[in-house]
Amino acid sequence: MNPLVYRRARPSDTRPILSLINHYSTKGLMLPRSFAQVVEKIRDFNVALDGPNGARVKGVVALHVVGEDLAEVRSLAVDESLQGRGVGRKLMEMCLSDAREMNLPRVFTLTYQTGFFDKLGFTRVEKLTLPQKIWGDCVHCAKFSDCDEIAMVKALAGPQLTVGS
Protein backbone atom coordinates (compact mmCIF):
# COMPACT_ATOMS: atom_id res chain seq x y z
CA MET A 1 0.00 0.00 0.00
CA ASN A 2 1.21 3.48 -0.83
CA PRO A 3 1.48 5.99 2.00
CA LEU A 4 -1.66 8.05 2.42
CA VAL A 5 -1.78 11.70 1.42
CA TYR A 6 -3.97 14.03 3.45
CA ARG A 7 -5.34 17.25 1.97
CA ARG A 8 -8.35 19.48 1.55
CA ALA A 9 -10.95 18.02 -0.75
CA ARG A 10 -11.37 19.27 -4.30
CA PRO A 11 -14.52 19.32 -6.42
CA SER A 12 -13.13 16.34 -8.37
CA ASP A 13 -13.24 14.33 -5.11
CA THR A 14 -17.01 14.69 -4.77
CA ARG A 15 -18.08 11.35 -6.26
CA PRO A 16 -15.49 9.25 -4.38
CA ILE A 17 -16.39 11.06 -1.13
CA LEU A 18 -20.05 10.37 -1.77
CA SER A 19 -19.34 6.72 -2.51
CA LEU A 20 -17.47 6.25 0.78
CA ILE A 21 -20.10 8.06 2.87
CA ASN A 22 -23.02 6.29 1.26
CA HIS A 23 -21.31 2.89 1.61
CA TYR A 24 -21.64 3.33 5.38
CA SER A 25 -25.07 4.89 5.04
CA THR A 26 -26.43 1.73 3.44
CA LYS A 27 -25.22 -0.15 6.54
CA GLY A 28 -27.08 2.27 8.82
CA LEU A 29 -23.83 3.59 10.29
CA MET A 30 -24.17 7.19 9.13
CA LEU A 31 -26.63 9.43 7.37
CA PRO A 32 -26.64 9.52 3.57
CA ARG A 33 -25.48 12.57 1.64
CA SER A 34 -26.46 13.71 -1.83
CA PHE A 35 -24.13 14.88 -4.58
CA ALA A 36 -25.39 18.45 -4.08
CA GLN A 37 -24.78 18.31 -0.31
CA VAL A 38 -21.17 17.23 -0.83
CA VAL A 39 -20.19 19.42 -3.77
CA GLU A 40 -21.77 22.55 -2.26
CA LYS A 41 -19.78 22.05 0.95
CA ILE A 42 -16.60 20.61 -0.63
CA ARG A 43 -14.47 23.23 1.15
CA ASP A 44 -15.59 21.71 4.48
CA PHE A 45 -14.00 18.34 3.61
CA ASN A 46 -10.56 16.84 4.13
CA VAL A 47 -9.58 13.55 2.52
CA ALA A 48 -7.05 10.75 2.90
CA LEU A 49 -5.90 9.44 -0.48
CA ASP A 50 -4.06 6.33 -1.64
CA GLY A 51 -2.80 5.14 -4.97
CA PRO A 52 -0.80 6.73 -7.75
CA ASN A 53 -0.82 10.48 -7.15
CA GLY A 54 -3.42 10.04 -4.41
CA ALA A 55 -6.02 8.70 -6.81
CA ARG A 56 -8.36 6.92 -4.37
CA VAL A 57 -10.28 8.51 -1.49
CA LYS A 58 -9.77 6.22 1.50
CA GLY A 59 -10.98 8.55 4.24
CA VAL A 60 -13.05 11.68 4.60
CA VAL A 61 -14.26 14.13 7.21
CA ALA A 62 -15.94 17.53 7.13
CA LEU A 63 -15.86 20.47 9.52
CA HIS A 64 -18.99 22.57 9.10
CA VAL A 65 -19.25 25.89 10.93
CA VAL A 66 -22.74 26.30 12.42
CA GLY A 67 -22.21 29.44 14.50
CA GLU A 68 -19.62 31.95 15.57
CA ASP A 69 -18.55 29.67 18.42
CA LEU A 70 -19.37 26.17 17.17
CA ALA A 71 -18.59 23.76 14.33
CA GLU A 72 -19.75 20.25 13.54
CA VAL A 73 -17.52 17.33 12.64
CA ARG A 74 -19.54 15.37 10.10
CA SER A 75 -19.28 12.59 7.56
CA LEU A 76 -16.21 10.92 9.09
CA ALA A 77 -15.64 7.72 7.12
CA VAL A 78 -12.58 5.53 6.59
CA ASP A 79 -12.31 2.66 4.11
CA GLU A 80 -12.83 -0.63 5.96
CA SER A 81 -9.40 -1.89 4.88
CA LEU A 82 -7.72 0.99 6.79
CA GLN A 83 -9.76 1.12 9.97
CA GLY A 84 -7.74 0.97 13.17
CA ARG A 85 -4.63 2.42 11.49
CA GLY A 86 -4.98 6.05 12.64
CA VAL A 87 -6.59 7.42 9.47
CA GLY A 88 -9.69 8.67 11.30
CA ARG A 89 -7.53 10.17 14.05
CA LYS A 90 -5.39 12.03 11.51
CA LEU A 91 -8.47 13.36 9.73
CA MET A 92 -9.84 14.50 13.09
CA GLU A 93 -6.54 16.23 13.89
CA MET A 94 -6.97 18.20 10.67
CA CYS A 95 -10.54 19.19 11.64
CA LEU A 96 -9.59 20.23 15.15
CA SER A 97 -6.64 22.22 13.84
CA ASP A 98 -8.95 24.02 11.38
CA ALA A 99 -11.41 24.78 14.19
CA ARG A 100 -8.63 26.21 16.37
CA GLU A 101 -7.36 28.36 13.48
CA MET A 102 -10.87 29.83 13.28
CA ASN A 103 -10.85 30.42 17.07
CA LEU A 104 -13.87 28.20 17.55
CA PRO A 105 -14.14 27.22 21.21
CA ARG A 106 -16.19 24.06 20.62
CA VAL A 107 -16.83 21.34 18.06
CA PHE A 108 -19.52 18.69 18.18
CA THR A 109 -20.62 15.60 16.34
CA LEU A 110 -23.70 13.43 16.09
CA THR A 111 -22.48 9.84 15.91
CA TYR A 112 -23.04 6.14 16.45
CA GLN A 113 -19.26 5.66 17.05
CA THR A 114 -19.04 7.05 20.57
CA GLY A 115 -15.96 5.03 21.55
CA PHE A 116 -13.85 6.68 18.85
CA PHE A 117 -14.89 10.18 19.91
CA ASP A 118 -14.48 9.34 23.62
CA LYS A 119 -10.80 8.62 22.91
CA LEU A 120 -10.47 12.07 21.32
CA GLY A 121 -11.81 13.87 24.38
CA PHE A 122 -15.41 14.40 23.28
CA THR A 123 -18.13 14.14 25.92
CA ARG A 124 -21.79 13.24 25.52
CA VAL A 125 -24.38 16.00 25.69
CA GLU A 126 -28.09 16.32 25.09
CA LYS A 127 -28.93 17.21 21.49
CA LEU A 128 -31.08 20.07 22.75
CA THR A 129 -27.88 21.86 23.86
CA LEU A 130 -27.10 22.27 20.13
CA PRO A 131 -30.02 24.38 18.86
CA GLN A 132 -28.03 25.59 15.83
CA LYS A 133 -27.84 22.00 14.61
CA ILE A 134 -31.33 20.94 15.61
CA TRP A 135 -33.12 23.81 13.91
CA GLY A 136 -30.64 24.23 11.06
CA ASP A 137 -30.20 20.65 9.83
CA CYS A 138 -31.94 18.06 11.99
CA VAL A 139 -35.42 19.45 11.46
CA HIS A 140 -35.07 18.52 7.75
CA CYS A 141 -33.85 14.97 8.43
CA ALA A 142 -36.12 11.95 7.93
CA LYS A 143 -35.01 10.70 11.37
CA PHE A 144 -35.80 14.00 13.14
CA SER A 145 -38.57 12.68 15.37
CA ASP A 146 -36.76 9.41 16.09
CA CYS A 147 -33.04 10.32 15.99
CA ASP A 148 -30.80 7.72 17.58
CA GLU A 149 -27.45 9.45 17.06
CA ILE A 150 -25.46 10.51 20.13
CA ALA A 151 -24.42 14.17 20.47
CA MET A 152 -20.84 14.71 21.64
CA VAL A 153 -18.88 17.94 22.22
CA LYS A 154 -15.20 18.81 22.60
CA ALA A 155 -13.98 22.09 24.06
CA LEU A 156 -10.94 23.54 22.30
CA ALA A 157 -8.52 25.55 24.41
CA GLY A 158 -6.19 26.85 21.73
CA PRO A 159 -3.84 26.06 18.85
CA GLN A 160 -1.16 24.50 21.09
CA LEU A 161 -3.34 21.49 22.03
CA THR A 162 -3.31 18.20 20.18
CA VAL A 163 -5.99 15.54 19.75
CA GLY A 164 -6.79 13.79 22.98
CA SER A 165 -5.37 16.48 25.22
5-155 has CATH 3.10.105.10 classification: no
Q: What is the reported pLDDT for 25? A: 87
In Å, how far from its chain's centre is CA 76? 4
Q: What is the reported pLDDT for 52? A: 60
Q: What is the reported pLDDT for 122? A: 96
The residue-averaged pLDDT of 41-46 equals 96
In Å, how far from its chain's centre is CA 45? 8
Confidence of residue 77 (pLDDT cuts 50, 70, 90): very high
Q: What is the reported pLDDT for 30? A: 81
Give the start-to-end residue ranges of the domains of the chain.
5-155
**Cβ atoms within 10 Å of 59's Cβ, excluding its own:** 24
Q: DSSP string of 32-70?
A: ---HHHHHHTGGGEEEEEESTTS-EEEEEEEEEEEETTE
Q: What is the reported pLDDT for 137? A: 53
- Give the chain's mean pLDDT: 84
Q: What is the reported pLDDT for 67? A: 86
Digit-coded pLDDT (tens) for 104-158: 999 999 888 899 999 999 999 987 777 655 544 544 455 545 567 788 999 996 5
CA–CA separation, 3 and 143 (whole Å): 38
